[in-house]
Amino acid sequence: MRCLSVRQPWAQLIATGRKKIELRTWRTDYRGPIIIVAGQARGGSRAARWRDVDGPRGAAIAIAELVDCRPARKSDARAACTVPEPGEWAWVLRDVRPIEPIPQRGRLGLYRPPDDLVQALAK
pLDDT bin (cut points 50, 70, 90) of residue 9 is: very high
In a domain, 71, yes or no: yes
What pTM did the predictor assign? 0.94
Residue 65 has pLDDT above 90, yes or no: yes
Q: Are 90 and 68 in contact (CB under 8 A)?
A: yes
Averaged confidence pLDDT in the chain: 94
CATH number of the domain that 10 lies in? 2.30.130.30
Q: Provide DSSP, 10-30.
A: HHHHHHTTS--EEEESS----
* Domains identified in the chain, total number: 1
In a domain, 50, yes or no: no
In a domain, 49, yes or no: no
Residue 39 has pLDDT above 80, yes or no: yes
In a domain, 31, yes or no: yes
Residues 6+ apart with CB under 8 A from 15: 36, 55, 61, 62, 96, 98
Q: Are strands 2-8 and 21-24 parallel, antiparallel or unpaired?
A: unpaired
Whole-number pLDDT of residue 102: 95
The whole domain housing 108 covers 2-43+55-122
Residue 111 has pLDDT above 90, yes or no: yes
Instruction: Please give the Cα distance from 72 to 106 (Å, whole number).
Output: 24
